[in-house]
Homo-oligomer: A and B are copies of this chain.
Amino acid sequence: MTDNSEKVSWKPGTLLTPVPAVMVSCGNETTGYNIITIAWTGIINSKPPMTYISVRPERYSYNLIKESGEFVINITTRHLARATDWCGIKSGEHFDKFREMDLTPAPARHVSAPLITESPLNLECKVTEIKKLGSHDMFLAEIVSVNASKAYINSETGKFHIENSDPITYMHGHYYNVGKRIGGFGYTVMKKSTKERLKKQQSDNKKPE
Residues of chain A at the chain B interface (Cβ within 8 Å): 1-20, 22, 39-52, 54, 73, 75, 78-79, 81-82, 85-86, 88-90, 104, 106, 109, 115, 117-123, 133-136, 138, 142-153, 160, 162-163, 165, 167-189
* Bound-complex Cα distance A8 to B120 (A): 10
Q: Is the CB of B81 within 8 A of A123?
A: no
Residues of B within 8 A of A121 (CB): 15, 17
* Bound-complex Cα distance A86 to B104 (A): 42
For residue A183, give the distance in angstroms from its CB to the closest CB of chain B.
6
Oligomeric state, in number of copies?
2
Known contacts: A6-B151, A149-B7. The answer to whether A138 contacts B44 by CB under 8 A is yes
For residue A137, give the distance in angstroms from its CB to the closest CB of chain B.
9
Known contacts: A117-B4, A177-B179. The answer to whether A109 contacts B20 by CB under 8 A is no
Q: Is the CB of A134 within 8 A of B50?
A: yes
A179 contacts which of B20, B115, B176, B189 (Cβ < 8 Å)? B176
7 tightest CB-CB pairs across the interface, nearest first? A42-B42, A179-B179, A177-B179, A45-B133, A4-B149, A47-B135, A175-B182
* Bound-complex Cα distance A189 to B87 (A): 11
Q: Is the CB of B180 within 8 A of A9?
A: no
Q: Is the CB of B134 within 8 A of A47?
A: yes
Q: Is the CB of A151 within 8 A of B12?
A: no
Residues of B within 8 A of A167 (CB): 17-18, 171
Q: Is the CB of A162 within 8 A of B151?
A: no
Q: Is the CB of A42 within 8 A of B17?
A: no
Known contacts: A167-B171, A184-B174. The answer to whether A42 contacts B16 by CB under 8 A is yes
Q: Is the CB of A73 within 8 A of B16?
A: yes
A5 contacts which of B89, B109, B117, B135 (Cβ < 8 Å)? B117
